[in-house]
Amino acid sequence: MRHIISILLENESGALSRVAGLFSARAYNIESLTVAPTDDSTLSRMTIVTSGTDDIIEQINKQLNKLIDVVKLHDLTEDAHIERELMLIKVQAVGEARDEVKRLVEIFRGHIIDVTDTTYTIEITGNGEKLDAFVEALSTITILEVVRSGLLGISRGDRVLG
Amino acid sequence: MELTGAEIIIECLKAEDVEYVFGYPGGAVLHIYDAFYKQDDVKHILVRHEQGATHAADGYARSTGKPGVVLVTSGPGATNAVTGIATAYMDSIPMIVITGQVPKALIGNDAFQEVDSVGITRPIVKHNFLIKDVKDIAKVFKQAFFVATTGRPGPVVIDIPKDITANKVDFKYPEDIKMRSYNPTFKGHPGQIKRAVDIILAAERPMIYTGGGVILGNGSEQLRKFTRKLGYPITQTLMGLGAFPASDKQSLGMLGMHGTYEANMGMHNCDVLIAIGARFDDRVTGNLEKFCPDATIIHVDVDPASISKNVRVDVPIVGEVAQVLNEFNQALEQTEQTPNAAALEKWWQQINEWRSQDCLKYNRESETIKPQFVLEKMFEVTKGSAIVTSDVGQHQMFAAQYYGFDEPRRWINSGGLGTMGFGLPAAMGAQFAHPEDLVMCVTGESSIQMCIQELATCTQYALPLKIINLNNGYMGMVRQWQEFFYDKRYSNSHMNVQPDFTKLAESYGHIGIRVEKPADVVPALEESIAQKDRLVFLDFITDQEENVYPMIPAGAGLNEMILV
């Protein structure tokens, strides 16, 4: 099953490689991994999307907790949470496609953030499924480039990791 | 007062009461070596290869419980230390490894003797540090010792660029340390402890299964009290031997791949398994699907990640072994409930029936020297008092089976990683820590050659080790597997080209004795021990095709042993 693990870790060189190294050394999956410093510059917040049986997920959580640089972690999928991903996508936009793409971007509540005579660059956020659906909807359009941020997650309600 | 980085390192080691540093100099650590030269408080032991330094520090740590300290240079110094660091990591041994690094400005430039030591060692350390400022040295050392020695212990690497060891700063060693991201659990959960005690007392066919964690956590005394109070059978892993006395009638010996029949059958048939400081290693469990099919499992361990990793546990208790055993013992004293005596008597009858198989029997009348015979006689001659280190292979299993350990920290071997070459340098470390004790290294002609250069270190520091070389001319365990599972195709396991070990020992200034007949075994052992101040290398020419029994083949359950 898919799990989203949110981690607060020391913002130190090498901390990211400890986490990534753990996943490869123990043959765990990483679907996506995002990391950046938080409002407290000594801490980074990492979101890992992984999958595995309950036993494997339990081990992933325990092994992550064992890393000295990991301050706190929480499996967001245990309760209500919000997922968001950012996608930047560059498509060919000539002739009829120019209007068609614009309509689709509106429907999916994205933004066109860069325009040339022949291309649009679109920004769109949402959960992974929404972004997949948008790419699907562009099936008749020529996609030139796709950049996805990987998933970010946060708990609903007053629960905080910190 | 302002000190250089190198001087600060010495001060940190002094503050941590470090007696010995095992090391080998090189370009990146010259400032540190200069600082060593100017003081006598911390003694530096010069080994002949960095692998030897790590194993020696490891042997020191295992025999004392204090962290072993290693100092090596950058590049090849660090890579040579890797095997020893991994060895310590797999067996959770507290160790501090200081690696020199090229000057900060050159890092990443493919400089002379540069490797990414932090990157290379990352998967085999509990934690590692790259120091980037002389101001950080004291704090990092304090953290490193704290991390290495608390919770589940392990090696910590500190990588220090050369320029930082020359820079100056005011030195002050932190008095205590708090790390927001590292808070090992010490005390077991009271509710879980109560639950466990109820299950323990209700058991009809109980089994206590303990591992290296009891030794690492100094829980031997508490374990003895617990086991004797209950009167339950106990089996110990390769790493746990000595925590409970082998000579006690409640001890069923070692379990696992080469464990005793009674221990493995007891495991397979028990209804309550009390696992303490053990990690359900594959060499212990055999086929997981067939493991302890009827048992309710209680598991005490300081490392939460060890619990339910391989075997699903019914009552997990995270905490320090000695602490949790104390709680168990208190609960047992306070409760009016007692173990089920009738069921226990029946259980012991069954166990004694298994015991009567005498699974460790071998041909004592053999014309050639049997390796088991050497170990048995070694036990008798030393009255079980020696600190015994071993290398890896058949001799290691024979030592574990035939040399009964009654005390913890007397049996020192590489169980997790299985590092050939470990025995001799580990024995050096143990001898430095225990100068008055008899330290013996049980090895084989193949293992001993992997770190044989350390014989020179033994000469330099007059270490009176006794080396028990069980020379069967084969990598014995490899040969055994090839005999059983590869139709006796002895591919590259025949060690038919060997040095003359007696002459080799003599060339280093030691005594070498070759022993070919069973009748000469005891006199040779006695002679070696009589040489109190000399290293004696005993080269026993043993039966070439002896096998280690019992044996559980890969994929089989604990009840599916091959007996003699």
User: How many of the other CB atoms lie within 10 Å of CB of A124?
Assistant: 22
Enclosing H/E stretch for B373:
helix B371-382
Q: Tell how strand B95-101 and strand B155-161 pair up.
A: parallel
CB contact at 8 A, B408 and B394: no
| B140 to chain A, closest Cα gap in Å | 13
Residue B435 corresponds to which tokens in the numbers above? 């100068």
What is the pTM assigned to this prediction? 0.96
Q: What is the pLDDT of residue A6?
A: 97
Q: With beta carbons less than 8 A apart as the criterion, state whether B420 and B392 touch.
A: yes
- Interface size, chain A vs chain B, as Cβ–Cβ contacts under 8 Å: 36
The shortest C-alpha distance from B153 to chain A (Å) reads: 12
Choose the closest CB to A17 out of B122, B180, B309. Answer: B122
A56 neighbors A11 (Cβ within 8 angstroms): no
Spell out the SS3 assignment of B252-308.
EEECCCCCCHHHHHHHHHCCEEEEECCCCCHHHHCCHHHCCCCCEEEEEECCHHHCC
Q: Is A122 on the interface with B (CB under 8 A)?
A: no
**Across the beta sheet with B68-72, what order do the strands follow?**
B43-46, B20-23, B68-72, B95-101, B155-161, B127-130
pLDDT per residue of chain A (162 residues) written in tens, 0 to 9: 899 999 999 999 899 999 999 999 999 999 999 999 999 999 999 999 999 999 999 999 999 999 999 999 999 999 999 999 999 999 999 999 999 999 999 999 999 999 999 999 999 999 999 999 999 999 999 999 999 999 999 999 999 997
Tokens of B119: 């990157």
> Count of CB atoms within 10 A of residue B275's CB?
28
Tokens of B95: 């160790």
In this prediction, residue B70 carries a pLDDT of 98
CA of B176: how far to CAs of B132, B147, B276, in Å? 22, 13, 30
B302 vs B217: CA distance, rounded Å: 9
Residue B181 with chain A: CB contacts under 8 Å: 9-10, 68-71
A43 near B CB under 8 A: no
Which residue type does A64 have? L
Q: How far is B291 from chain A (nearest CA, A)?
A: 17
Closest C-alpha to B444, from B550, B514, B541, B529: B541
Q: How far is it, in rounded angstroms, from Cα B518 to Cα A8?
A: 64
Substitution target in A56, A60, A66 with the highest count of B β-carbons within 10 Å is A66
pLDDT band at B327 (very low <50, low <70, confident <90, very high): very high
What is the model's pLDDT at position B564?
84
Tell me which of B120, B181, B183, B280 to substitute to probe the interface with A (most A C-beta atoms closer than 10 Å): B181
- What ipTM was estimated for this complex? 0.93
Yes or no, beta carbons of A68 and B118 under 8 Å apart: no
Chain B residue numbers touching A13 (CB-CB < 8 A): 130
CB contact under 8 A, B181 and A69: yes
* Interface check A21 vs B, CB under 8 A: yes
Query: Could you tell me which of B396, B357, B439 has the C-alpha nearest to residue B60?
Result: B439
Give tens-digit pLDDT for B536-548. 999 999 999 999 9
Given this model, what pLDDT does residue B214 score?
Answer: 98
Select from A9, A17, A66 the Cβ nearest to the Cβ of B305: A66
The residues of B annotated with a catalytic role in the active site are: 50, 112-113, 162, 477
What pLDDT was estimated at residue B143? Answer: 98
Q: Do B127 and A68 touch (CB under 8 A)?
A: yes
- Report how far apart, in Å, the C-alpha atoms of B354 and of each of B38, B212, B252, B350 are: 62, 25, 10, 7
**Window 304-323 of B, Cβ < 8 Å to A:** 304-305, 308-309, 312
Enter the tokens of residue B381.
């001659």
Q: Is the minimum CB–CB distance between B103 and chain A shorter than 8 Å?
A: no
Amino acid B446: pLDDT: 98
Structure tokens at B4: 């250089």
**In whole angstroms, what is the distance from residue B180 CA to residue B44 CA?**
34
The structure tokens 């956590």 sit at B217
Q: Cis peptide leading into B371, omega within 30 of 0? A: no
Task: Give the tens place of pLDDT for each residue, B423-443.
Answer: 999 999 999 999 999 999 999
Q: Is B343 on the interface with A (CB under 8 A)?
A: no
**Rounded distance, CA A151 to CA B456, Å?**
58
User: Between A62, A63, A71, which is nearest B180 by CB?
Assistant: A71
Type of residue found at B463: L
Band of residue B186 on the pLDDT scale cut at 50, 70, 90 = confident
Contact: B181, A65; criterion CB under 8 Å? no
Q: Nearest chain A residue to B303 by CA: give it.
A: A66
Whether chain B has a CB inside 8 Å of the CB on A9: the answer is yes
- Taking residue B326's Cβ as centre, other Cβ atoms within 10 Å add up to 18
Q: Distance (Å, rounded) from C-alpha B267 to C-alpha B273?
A: 8
Give the whole-angstrom CA distance, residue A44 versus residue A22: 17
Minimal CA separation from A153 to chain B, in Å: 21
Burial of B197 (0-12, 13-18, 19+ CB in 10 A): buried
Q: How far apart are CA A137 and CA B244, in angstroms?
A: 69
Residue A162: per-residue pLDDT: 77
Nearest CA in chain B to A43: B181
Q: Which residues of A58-86 are buried (b: 16+ CB within 10 A; e: fewer)?
A: bbbbbbbebbbbbbebbbbbeeebebbbb
Helix, strand, coil percentages in chain B from 3-state DSSP, rounded to 5:
40, 20, 40
Q: How high is the mean pLDDT of chain B?
A: 97
Distance CA B87, CA B91 (A): 7
Both tokens of B113, joined, read: 């003797």
How big, in percent rounded to 5, are the helix, strand and coil portions of chain A?
30, 40, 30
Residue B118 binned pLDDT confidence (cut-offs 50, 70, 90): very high
CB contacts of B126 in chain A (<8 Å) are 68
Mean pLDDT over B262-291 rounds to 96
Residue of chain B whose alpha carbon sits nearest to that of A13: B130
Interatomic CA distance for residues B448 and B445, integer angstroms: 6
Give helix then strand counts, H and E, for chain B. Answer: 21, 20
* Residues listed for chain B: 564
**Nearest alpha-carbon partner for A17 in A6, A5, A33, A37:** A33
> Tell me, what's the pLDDT at B1?
84
Is the pLDDT at B288 greater than 90? The verdict is yes
Strands A70-75 and A43-51: unpaired
Contact of B119 with chain A, judged by CB distance below 8 Å, is answered with: yes
